[in-house]
Structure 1
Amino acid sequence: MSDFLSLLMFPSLMVFIIAGFPIAFSMIVVATIFGITQFGDAAAYQLLTKIEDTASNSILAAVPLFIFMGAVLERSGIAERLFGAIHLWTTRLPGGLGVGAIIMGTLFAASSGVVGATEAVIGMLAVPVMLKHRYDKRLISGTICASGSLGTAIPPSITVVVLGPVAGVSVGSLFSGLLIPGLLMATLFLLYIIGVSYLKPEMAPRIEETDQVSLGERLRISLFALLPTLALIFVVLGTILMGVATPTEAAACGALGAVVLALAYRNLTFKVLWHAAVRTMNISAMILLIVMGGSMFAGVFFAAGGMATMQSLLIGTGLDPWMILALILLITFIAGFVLDLISVVLIVIPIAMPIVRILGFDEIWFCVAFLVVLQTSYLTPPLAPAIFYLRAITPPEVTLKHMYAGVVPFIVVQLFVLGLVLAFPSLAMWLPDAMSGPSWK
């Protein structure tokens, strides 16, 4: 097989995906076929080595732990209690329910890291209430999709846990580099909702029903709902950023903390633990199988000379480094239409990172920009995964037309944040440099 022939692995992969095969099995099958064609019997050893590498990667142990933590928070009713406490403080603001949904998305993303789970939980809690109070269906759709997408941009993100080892970059540094852009994005989401609700009150009618709740009662509810969740976020994210714990250790503490919280709220039952364990097993198996398939695919592609060919093709074009970077991000954006976030990471990053290093761009800065692009593609119609998650939890009266129109302003916000990250690298680099914590590879 010539070096150029190895590039056929990508169209072959797309054929399998379009034919309806699961992405993980598609990558495994393509890697096996091309590996045997190129290396014969030696391909078996190479593929088995990739399986062992995936199984022995300690960073990936954080994946099921983060998923379990989010599942316990969801199943035990802690997320519902948290949304109610946030709602007490935001209800008087223009678009208060939408503001509460974004804040809830930020907090839940910071204590879970699973994008689909974040959107599903917030949607099930907020959509019925927003419909009851006659919120515009476009605003509802955009708000829920945007709040759910924060699971990519707010650490600890499962996508980042997978991205770090694949890119050869510290997961802790990626978490700290992503924090400021992620919080900036959430803040701009809030400002948009407040602004459009103030200018067009008919899109988000004011709610006065909480006038009967005294300040003391609000403080009491917030104390018991918000503070424990914030403490859990600190245990997970704070310990990573301070260099006290590795991501895997912090995830273990977070999983234990979620169980302790459920026990403290007297919501810890065998049924809750069982459902959380089953959900963890299902999602973890899916993610880790995709990671294994991606590792096998990338290993064969590298060994067959595909990486060197891609580098020579891109660098040999004579394009400006920034144009090459823009091309990589455009490919990422398009791939996000048809593939899940983890698959895009596993396919694009092994090719992109060596090129990024050759061009002299900062690795952490590029990874943060990459994640913002990936999050934007998650929201962008017509194949936006966020819309398909929302479609599954909303009543028929919220149509695809509402959803497509509703996400557009939030996509604009994300592109604005991307522009800021590209124009001002310090947004992604300042906190990692300031924290100067240990490197966890």
Structure 2
Amino acid sequence: MSGIEIAFGSIALMLVLIYSGMHVAVALIATSFGGVWLLRGNFDLAADMMVVAFKDSITDQLFGVVPLFVLMGLVVSVSGIGRDTFDVAQQGLRRLRGGLGVATVAANAIFAAITGISIASAAVFTKVAVPEMRRHGYTPHFSVGVVAGSSVLGMLIPPSLLFILYGILTEQSVGSLFIAGVIPGLLLATVFAVGIVLMGYLTPQFIGGMQDDGEEALSMSAAEATGKLLPIVVLVALVLGGIYGGVFTPTEAGAVGAAGALVLAIGKRRLSWNNFWQVLVQTGHTTAAICFLIMGASLYSRMLAFSGLPGWLSNAAIDGGYSANGVVLAMIAVMVILGTILDSSSILLLVLPIVVPILTGLHVDLIWLGVITILAVEVGLLTPPFGIAVYVIKSTLGPDTDVSLGQIFLGAAPFALMMFLVLGLVFLFPALATVLL
């Protein structure tokens, strides 16, 4: 068989293995190892390449940013900063139609700027916002849907673990990707907020909660609101200001952010030894899972390079007269389809090694492409049958809840459509992602 045939066969086998339930990282490593073995006809060479790929993929200092930002996000989650943010947003937006839904979006946008983990946002605001919205008469499906929809902001508003992973896979500046995500992230939050208000007027039966949200809200003074928001503002300014101001690298920013989050949690007396141990354990589990995926992707990329598939596809696209926009649209379609069965990180690891060489040959801006990619894969967090954010919310609600998975998907559907709108705007107006660079 030719190298191209082996590459296509390995991709097909990989998809079969993943669909059958094998872990994505294991499928990547097994098929990539087998592909190199077939291409070179040498088992020892394939084994040596696997060792080199594993070593190179996790020894770079840049990979230190993963556990640091994960640690920061988890400490922020357990310290109650999400609840503080929601309380302040609820106080300011309580008299707006659909105000608690808008408050959830606003609080999630702020929370996203210090966590970068969509799953953490979904878990925190399921506990914080859903009971409040249900108590004020909002429908069950809208109450959970707005949490599911706004949780995706965690992967678009920097810092973002998906931007870090994209930067590693495409060898792009993580700092530049963070900057590129600012305007699209704020735009998405704004579209969500406007969409909720419009639903309140156009489809009030869908969201409920038409009584004044402020009737039962506790009064909060300006000093109290400032006291709750100040730690958040300080942490955001410390991390993002340091990166954008060139004071320190993204990896150093992760260390500073994690230390700052620990200081805040201890200062608020909201971090017990038991919680801290759980945070450390969960940080280790998350980091190990991400690094295992990255190692598999590194071997996968090398196997594809040996086969000649990226160059063949790039030449075929150029010779066939395909435009860069056409290839990007095809990539978006594939990512959205894969999003119905795979998580976001797995989609990046499968698609980018194939697509990026083609788009590089077509002179596509890879920073702009990064924003497009994150938006496309994040739609998958809300779409059945996988929809990981939906399952996190269902799990957080507990076994005694009266909210079904179908209701959560129903409530998240309008937000998935709004994400497609923002994706279309960023595709048509690339300056939304690049103007700050």
After superposition, residues 26-45 of structure 1 pair within 5 angstroms as 26-39=27-40, 40=42, 41-45=44-48
1:97 is aligned to 2:100 = yes
Contact 2:114 2:235 in 1 (8 A): yes
What amino acid sits opposite 1:3 in the alignment?
G
What amino acid sits opposite 1:28 in the alignment?
I
- Which residue is 2:7 aligned to? 6
Task: Tell me the distance in 2 between the aligned counterparts of 1:153 and 1:42.
Answer: 40
Which residue of 193, 216, 224 maps to 2:227? Answer: 224
- Which residue is 1:48 aligned to? 51
- Which residue is 1:15 aligned to? 16
Task: Tell me the distance in 2 between the aligned counterparts of 1:162 and 1:266.
Answer: 33
Contact 2:85 2:107 in 1 (8 A): yes
Farther-moved stretch of structure 1 (251-260 vs 344-353) = 344-353
1:207 is aligned to 2:213 = yes
Farther-moved stretch of structure 1 (187-196 vs 252-261) = 187-196
Any stretches of 5+ residues in structure 1 without a counterpart?
A: 433-441
After superposition, residues 46-85 of structure 1 pair within 5 angstroms as 46-85=49-88
Identity %: 33
What amino acid sits opposite 1:388 in the alignment?
Y
C-alpha distance 297-225 of structure 1, shift in aligned 2 (>3 A): same
Q: Displacement of 1:90 after TM fit?
A: 2.1
Which whole-Å deviations, capped at 9, do the CAs of 1:331-383 have from their partners, x for residues lacking one? 12222222221121122112222211211222211221111111223222343
**Normalized against structure 2, the TM-score is what?**
0.93
Which residue of 410, 417, 420 maps to 2:415? Answer: 410
Task: Tell me the distance in 2 between the aligned counterparts of 1:325 and 1:199.
Answer: 34
Q: Displacement of 1:234 after TM fit?
A: 1.3
Q: Displacement of 1:58 after TM fit?
A: 1.5
- Which residue is 1:184 aligned to? 187
What amino acid sits opposite 2:213 in the alignment?
I
Which whole-Å deviations, capped at 9, do the CAs of 1:16-55 have from their partners, x for residues lacking one? 1122111111111112222222231211221111111122
Q: Displacement of 1:138 after TM fit?
A: 2.7
After superposition, residues 10-409 of structure 1 pair within 5 angstroms as 10-39=11-40, 40=42, 41-201=44-204, 203-205=208-210, 206-210=212-216, 213=219, 217-394=220-397, 396-409=401-414
- Which residue is 1:424 aligned to? 429
What amino acid sits opposite 2:141 in the alignment?
R
Task: Tell me the distance in 1 between the aligned counterparts of 2:215 and 2:269.
Answer: 28
Contact 2:66 2:287 in 1 (8 A): yes
Farther-moved stretch of structure 1 (217-226 vs 62-71) = 217-226
Contact 1:146 1:407 in 2 (8 A): yes
Contact 2:343 2:380 in 1 (8 A): no
Task: Tell me the distance in 2 between the aligned counterparts of 1:76 and 1:286.
Answer: 24
The number of equivalent residue pairs is 429
Which whole-Å deviations, capped at 9, do the CAs of 1:369-427 have from their partners, x for residues lacking one? 11111122322234322222222223542223322322222122111111111111111
Contact 2:78 2:271 in 1 (8 A): no
What amino acid sits opposite 1:140 in the alignment?
S
Task: Give the match's secondary structure for 2:47.
Answer: helix
Contact 1:9 1:301 in 2 (8 A): no
Contact 1:321 1:359 in 2 (8 A): yes
Contact 1:115 1:148 in 2 (8 A): yes
Which whole-Å deviations, capped at 9, do the CAs of 1:301-348 have from their partners, x for residues lacking one? 211222223323434443333222211221122222222211211221
Task: Tell me the distance in 2 between the aligned counterparts of 1:27 and 1:425.
Answer: 32
Contact 1:3 1:309 in 2 (8 A): no
Farther-moved stretch of structure 1 (385-394 vs 120-129) = 385-394
Task: Tell me the distance in 1 between the aligned counterparts of 2:133 and 2:46.
Answer: 55
C-alpha distance 194-287 of structure 1, shift in aligned 2 (>3 A): same
Task: Tell me the distance in 2 between the aligned counterparts of 1:410 and 1:277.
Answer: 33
Task: Tell me the distance in 1 between the aligned counterparts of 2:259 and 2:321.
Answer: 53
Contact 1:94 1:201 in 2 (8 A): no
Contact 1:35 1:300 in 2 (8 A): yes
Task: Tell me the distance in 2 between the aligned counterparts of 1:401 and 1:112.
Answer: 28
Which whole-Å deviations, capped at 9, do the CAs of 1:94-151 have from their partners, x for residues lacking one? 2122112111211111101111111111112111221222212232232111111111
Q: Displacement of 1:276 after TM fit?
A: 0.9
What amino acid sits opposite 1:240 in the alignment?
I
RMSD of aligned residue pairs (Cα, Å): 1.8
Task: Give the match's secondary structure for 2:402.
Answer: coil
Farther-moved stretch of structure 1 (17-26 vs 254-263) = 17-26
Contact 2:314 2:359 in 1 (8 A): no
Q: Displacement of 1:262 after TM fit?
A: 0.8
Contact 1:75 1:275 in 2 (8 A): no
Task: Tell me the distance in 2 between the aligned counterparts of 1:70 and 1:257.
Answer: 11
Contact 1:118 1:151 in 2 (8 A): yes
